[in-house]
Amino acid sequence: MPSPHLAESDSDGPVLMAYLGWLRRRWWILLLAAVLGTAGGLAVSQLQHARYTSTTSLLVRPMGTGSDSNPNAKVNLDTEAQVVRSLVVADKARTLMKSTTAPDQLLQSATVTVPPNSQVLQVAYEADSPAQAQAGSHAFAQAYLDLRKATAQKTLDNEIASLNQQKADVTKQLTAVAGRIAAAPANSVDRERAEADRSVLTNQLASLNNRLSPLLSTDTDPGEIISDARLPSSPSSPNRTLNLASGMGAGLLLGIVLALLLDRLDTRVRRGRDITDRVGLPLLLEVAPRISTLALLPATHKVSRELGRLRNVLLSAVPQPAEAGRGRQLLLCDGSAGTAAGFVAANLAAAYARTGQQVALITTKPDSALTAITGVAEGRHSLAAVLRRDVPALKALAPVPGLGQLRVLVPGDLDADIELPVAALLEILNELSARFDHVLIETAQPTLAVEAQALGRYVDAVIMVAEAGRTHSGELTAALRQFEQVDAPVIGAVLVPRLPAPAGGAAPSKPAAPNNRPKPRPSLGPTAGAPSVESTMVLPRMTPSPSGASAGTATPGGASGSAKPAGPLPMTGTGLGSTYRSRGDGAGTDGPTRSSYALDSGEDLG
């Protein structure tokens, strides 16, 4: 069996493009989602209330005093930013703004940012009007500076008061020591001790004075406003550009998700990988070029060359028939309603014929487009005429113009309401296989055409033909299951692009003529040897044997009707007098003439 990767088209290009093909197929979803997202962003911009923002920049200086003073010290601005957003600052700002709004609500409108590698705080305030935004930003900045200065001044005052208290204590001790010196005799030990204490206290007092002197001259400088709040000229929100961009981005993201979801739920086959991955069927050929005309393509056409390579593969993959001199039988089955199998069968048959081999092409589809594809005129010689025993199969074959090795058996006036007689079809295939090197059969889906499943048992190979963008993987799975039930040799699938209408403007298929025949009247009891009007199977009516056996119990070859035939059923002897009916035929003989496919044992098959 040919390897599935022989027709894998993804090897000719980037695999990523194959996976992103669904974006190209669902572009309208992305466009619609982007437009809706942009419209949503515009609607949000219209619904949002205009807000104004003003910003004040502060330069923060170190506030060390006394022994803690260090001119090279840096302020922790992250801590100071939290101070700006404290309730204490908000309450002072509320007083400066002369506002009645609660401090915690004012904090919701204030933001503080710290530029990197700087000693600057940026205090922004958002309000409903430009004036409120300007006043709020300046008030928070000024309230922070006032609070910082007040805190620093309080610390300085506390330190000065502490030093003054220490000076007072030392001065009091000096007064007491001076009295001890005056009371002690000269050159006495008490006098010497008192003088030593006086010296220590004098040094302490001098040290306190040295510490107090710079504090008295210190001026607390918490910082300054280097860029005061300005009156905003335009609202800061809503940001229409940001809303439109965000809406478009959100719409595109939603569109991508929706397109991917729809693509996953879409079971239509679009590339060869879909067949191998979803159905598990080997891919024999994936026709990549678009096909502009539904006709027999010239040998130089790219599709003809690809079908020629498929022909070479089939010659080595399809086994030779066990019977010597018998041609190969290849059944091409539609994966869905359409003309894909007819197009591939006709051009593959032409590829066989161009090698000099004799090829016969027949179809069991009443609405087949083979007539339009091959250009064979549909006259009285057709498959319907052969089944009615009006003409032999070899005489009904018509040559294809310009390709004498290829003969076509057009469907004719096959009745879509009547099931085709499988035994008669097998006789036709046997007769053609004895005269032709290759016999190609086009059939409809096995889920619609019972003869497709029945013929699949006897042919040498079955190929399922799918049409990209039209055939669903579920249809291929159902068809493959039908063939597996009868052990049909399904060797793979062929994928063709979406096909146009047949040349000449004709539709790819024609609707079946309405069945205006009157319904047969139900009989009062079963008639021996006649098929039931409700039967959905083709039951041959055999000519009674000389021994008087019932015609309804005899089968070709003498086997039971439920047994699986080992090979093509021969239609010889008395069995050729069978008449095949479907549920459209009545059981009585007194009704109007009805369509049926009769095999007359006395007709010359010539």
| CA-wise closest residue to 318 among 347, 352, 342 | 352
**Residue 172 shares a structural domain with residue 250:** no
**Residue 65 shares a structural domain with residue 24:** no
Residue 531, pLDDT score: 35
pLDDT at 23 over 50: yes
**Residue at which a domain ends, from 496, 511, 534:** 496
**Residue 142 shares a structural domain with residue 221:** yes
Contact (CB, 8 A) for 340 and 496: yes
**Residue 347 shares a structural domain with residue 279:** yes
Find the domain containing 399 and state its range. Answer: 272-496
End-to-end CA separation in angstroms for the chain: 38
The pLDDT tens digits of the residues spanning 456-507 come to 999 999 999 999 988 998 999 999 999 999 999 999 999 999 888 765 544 4
593 inside domain = no
Contact (CB, 8 A) for 413 and 597: no
**Residue at which a domain ends, from 439, 469, 496:** 496
Across the chain, what does the average pLDDT equal?
A: 78
CA 496 – CA 275 distance, rounded (Å)? 12
Query: Which residue blocks in 300-421 are alpha helix, DSSP H?
Result: 302-317, 340-353, 370-374, 383-387, 393-396
CATH number for the domain harbouring residue 299: 3.40.50.300
513 inside domain = no
H or E stretch at 496: strand 490-496
Number of domain units in the chain: 3
Residues whose CB falls within 8 Å of the CB of residue 84, separated by 6 or more in sequence, listed in order: 110, 112, 121, 123, 140, 141, 144
pLDDT greater at residue 375 or residue 15: 375
Cα separations (Å) of 42 from 31, 88, 242? 17, 40, 10
448 inside domain = yes
Residue 582, pLDDT score: 34
Cα separations (Å) of 111 from 86, 97, 103, 225? 11, 17, 14, 16
H or E stretch at 361: strand 359-363
**Residue 133 shares a structural domain with residue 216:** yes
**Residue 331 shares a structural domain with residue 476:** yes
pLDDT at 596 over 50: no
**Residue 305 shares a structural domain with residue 426:** yes
The pLDDT tens digits of the residues spanning 411-452 come to 888 887 788 889 999 999 999 999 999 999 999 988 888 899
**Residue 149 shares a structural domain with residue 128:** yes
**Residue 419 shares a structural domain with residue 431:** yes
Residue showing tokens 């000065």:
160
30 inside domain = yes
206 inside domain = yes
Contact (CB, 8 A) for 251 and 35: yes
406 inside domain = yes
Can you tell me the mean pLDDT for 515-542? 35
The pLDDT tens digits of the residues spanning 398-422 come to 999 888 899 999 888 888 778 888 9
Q: Both tokens of residue 162?
A: 């502490």
Can you tell me the mean pLDDT for 545-565? 35
| CA-wise closest residue to 349 among 337, 362, 340, 338 | 362
Q: How many residues appear in the chain?
A: 606
**Residue 10 shares a structural domain with residue 65:** no
**Residue 206 shares a structural domain with residue 321:** no
Q: Both tokens of residue 495?
A: 């994928």
The pLDDT tens digits of the residues spanning 279-337 come to 989 999 999 878 888 888 999 999 999 999 999 999 988 888 888 889 999 999 999 88
Burial of residue 250 (number of CB atoms within 10 Å: 0-12, 13-18, 19+): middle
180 inside domain = yes
CATH number for the domain harbouring residue 77: 3.30.1890
589 inside domain = no
pLDDT at 587 over 90: no
pLDDT at 575 over 80: no
**Residue at which a domain ends, from 473, 496, 519:** 496
* Band of residue 142 on the pLDDT scale cut at 50, 70, 90: very high
**Residue 183 shares a structural domain with residue 258:** no
pTM greater than the 0.85 cutoff: no
Can you tell me the mean pLDDT for 573-588? 36
Residue 153, pLDDT score: 85
The pLDDT tens digits of the residues spanning 163-192 come to 889 888 888 888 888 888 888 888 888 888
